[in-house]
A and B are shown apart, each in its own frame.
Chain A
Amino acid sequence: MQTKTPTSLLKRRTIITTALGGAAMTASTWRSARAQTPVTLSLAVWGAQAEEDAFNAAIRRYQQLHPNVTIKLEVSGNSSQLYQMVDTRLAGRQAPDLFRVQYQQLGRYAAARAVVDVSKYLDAGYDKGFLPAFWQAVSFKGKPHALPHHTDTFAVYTNRELMAKIGVQAPTSLEQSWSWAEFIRISRALKDKAAVPYGFAMSWQNGAAYRWLPFLYQHGGQLLNADSTATQLSKREGVETIAWTQSWFKEGLVPPSSSIKSSEQPQNLFANGTIGMLIGGDWQIPFLSKNMKAEWDVTYMPRDVGMASDLGGNALAISRDCKNPDVAADFLKFMVDEANMEDFVTAAQFLPVRSTLAARELPYKLRPEAMGVFVRQAATIPVHMVTTETLPNFAKINARLTDELDLAFTSGQDATTTARNIDSQVQPLLAA
């Protein structure tokens, strides 16, 4: 049933050129070619100033080692603009050579063969250097289609002064994490005793519904069954988790503007004292250090029957339009080697995905003790959740989650209906 892409009708000439380019650069010739011919590669990313600076620093180092290679950094305004740009340019066979991609989005590109299988550029055992969960996250049908660059995860930021006011000590180890009930009790206390407008807020705005899944796993539930062939949110655990997160809004523990479709930036609310706690990612540390007057700390995610936190972070991939995938792969390996990964994550407050780096204390520029909490919390990212979030259709699944959970949080749709709707809408996306 598969036919030519509509693009090919218009773009035949370009495709032929690309094919010739690809043929000319076979594996046997690339080593010699790389040494002489000048090569220009484009790398499309998004990110805050610190990330942009860190990318540029790594690029400079690479170009010093390989004077014939020029890497052009193209920075998009945000991740959704990057995907729109990359997709459009893939359709026109003009995609950037390399691009930054969230683990949740990679499956989509891999399944469409829009990114290159990089396994042939890697030595045997190369994967052993990475934490298994992230190597799994970049693998599609057993082959790596990108290299893991960094991760990040969620923990709870607390306002020190307000916590002292209600006399609560934050947990200092994973084992002591607050239970769901304790967490709610503390949120209520913040509202009632410390007169904070809202107890807390969760950072899942602009459609990041997948960040709801850790709560589901904490409660012992899963969106999909073990082999990802069927949905199971309507089970008791699923419905209860929806009801629990919905109760945050019903009870007024979180600001109404903190639902999933909103464009609210809850870190602003934490900085100005509208909320006492912020469930957010490690990348908020630079912002809070700069903008928040009050003192703050970081503690672990609440737990229920289990512990879980968000799968964040990005990989770097080579697009199918890249004419020098060998050089691109060499640059990728450089970007994720131990020294460069350490440099990147410490400069931009992210977590490493190499086991050697994860095992030791890194010299973070800001709040190393708070980063320690995120590092330890990252160990609770559920492997099954990683499988779910890296499915080729996950972008569609996430859109359904966004729609239905937002209805539950803002428009009073009950938990059972929400679970049933998600199950029935996600099920057809699994067969494909």
Chain B
Amino acid sequence: MPRDAHMLNDVAGRKSRHVWAARRRFLVPYVFISPNLALFTAFSFAPLLYAVYISFHDWSLIGDSEYLGLGNYVRLFKDKLFWQALANTGVYAAITVSASMAFGLLLAVGLNRRLPGRTVLRSLYFLPVVVAAVATGTMAAWMFNDNYGVVNAILVRLGMGRIAWLSTPQWALPSLAIATVWVRLGFNMIVYLAALQSIPSLYYEAAKIDGANAFHQFRHITLPLLMPATFLLLVLNIIYSFQVFDLIYVMTGGGPGFSTTMVVQYIYQAAFVTSEMGYASAMGIVLYVLILAFTVVQWRASRQSESVL
């Protein structure tokens, strides 16, 4: 069919009904994806290209711009703060992705059993996912407040001391991680639950006959069959963790010191606080390329072990 494309111009003179039909069939997929493609082009790809263009300039957003060539990228490679932010993001992503996926799987396995009130339980675990992000950050900052937050109030009542959750470098990241897992857990649980339900019970029956215990069944049947779901969740969770903004902006503002400054935080600051849109764009492009590369690597790896796409 691709050959038809080249022929389109040559055959204009002898347009038979057959060629017309072939051309139509050739066009159908493009017509079908065109609404989405148009939207993506206008609102994702064009802005992205434009951001690339901006990244070669020194631009304050409110004034004139100046061509810098690779200046912003050179600055970025020398900027210790950027690398620190990237390292922080990596640590934050590693903690939140692994914790929310592991707990999500655990919950899914538990809630896949026939238990009284499991529909209610599932709903309760999913509930945080539907809370607006604006409210989540505010709520978390409110609860983790060192001085009048409820978390410390509970600790004090349990006879433990107060913890300076958001104002000490060692506790700030764990506080953020707890809030993130709270938000993310329900989504991971639902996807894992769905994946578990599509495993035929036949496999388990067979394993039982072979005398495999529960752990072996989980290790050799459940886990391998959950690979596609795990891949999907890994990609989505990593993207989410790399793009986290509101929660941290409201809870710690990137502090204390630089202990919770993430790349997106730093991008926001450059764009809208210190008026360095060109530099912000350069950092954004680098972050985008990193996420993309990460996903491709994961996709390759998971494709080797199991066919996903």
Contact = CB atoms under 8 A, between A and B. Distances in A.
Interface string A370-385: 0000000000000000
A403 B269 CA distance: 12
A129 to B, nearest CB: 29
Interface in B36-67: 50, 53-54, 57, 59-67
B257 A207 contact: no
Interface in A227-271: 255-264, 268-269
Given A262-B252, A403-B258, 18 more contacts: A6-B50, A87-B275, A90-B61, A112-B60, A255-B146, A256-B168, A257-B167, A258-B167, A261-B252, A261-B256, A263-B141, A268-B148, A269-B148, A396-B274, A399-B269, A406-B257, A410-B168, A410-B255
A274 B148 contact: yes
Contact of B255 (A255, A260, A396): A260
B71 to A, nearest CB: 12
A108 B256 contact: no
A262 to B, nearest CB: 6
B253 interface: yes
Contacts of A90: 61-62
B255 A256 contact: no
Nearest to A319: B62
Interface in B205-256: 250-256
A264 B256 CA distance: 12
A262 B258 contact: no
22 contacts: A1-B66, A2-B66, A3-B67, A5-B64, A6-B54, A84-B272, A108-B60, A111-B63, A112-B60, A114-B63, A197-B147, A207-B253, A255-B167, A257-B166, A261-B253, A261-B255, A264-B146, A396-B276, A399-B273, A406-B256, A407-B257, A410-B257
Nearest to A201: B147
A83 interface: yes
A430 interface: no
Name the residue among A206, A258, A403 with the largest chain B CB count within 10 angstroms. A403
Interface in A245-301: 255-264, 268-269, 272, 274
A4 interface: yes
A269 B50 contact: no
A88 interface: yes
B250 A263 contact: yes
B285 interface: no
B65 A4 contact: yes
A395 interface: yes
Interface string A54-86: 000000000000000000000000001001100
B164 interface: yes
A217 B53 CA distance: 44
B258 to A, nearest CB: 7
A411 interface: yes
B94 to A, nearest CB: 22
Contacts of A5: 59, 63-65
Contacts of B180: none
Interface of A: 1-6, 10, 80, 83-84, 87-88, 90-91, 108-109, 111-114, 197, 205-207, 255-264, 268-269, 272, 274, 395-396, 399, 403, 406-407, 409-411, 413
B272 A410 contact: no
Nearest to B259: A411
Contact of A396 (B145, B148, B275): B275
Contacts, number: 131
Contacts of B65: 2-6
B62 A108 contact: yes
Interface of B: 50, 53-54, 57, 59-67, 81, 141, 145-148, 164, 166-169, 250-259, 269, 272-277
A84 B148 CA distance: 31
B253 A206 contact: yes
Contacts of A395: 273-275
B189 to A, nearest CB: 30
A6 B147 contact: no
Contacts of B274: 395-396, 399
A112 B62 contact: yes
A6 B53 contact: yes
A395 B272 CA distance: 10
A256 B273 contact: no
Contacts of B169: 410-411
A80 B50 CA distance: 25
A252 B141 CA distance: 22
A406 B260 CA distance: 13
Among A206, A264, A274, the one with the most B-chain Cβ atoms within 10 Å of its Cβ is A264
Contacts of A258: 167
A114 B64 CA distance: 10
Given A91-B62, A395-B275, A256 B164 contact: yes
Contacts of B50: 6, 10
Contact of A255 (B57, B147, B259, B277): B147
A259 B253 CA distance: 11
Given A6-B53, A108-B275, A269-B147, A410 B59 contact: no
Contacts of A207: 253, 273
B159 to A, nearest CB: 18
Which 4 A-B residue pairings sit nearest by Cβ, starting from the closest?
A: A261-B255, A112-B63, A410-B256, A411-B257
A294 to B, nearest CB: 15
B253 A3 contact: no
A87 B256 CA distance: 28
Nearest to B270: A399
Nearest to B147: A274
B59 A263 contact: no
B58 to A, nearest CB: 9
A113 B277 CA distance: 17
B63 A113 contact: yes
A259 B167 contact: yes
A424 B157 CA distance: 48
Contact of A256 (B59, B146, B254, B276): B146
B62 A109 contact: yes
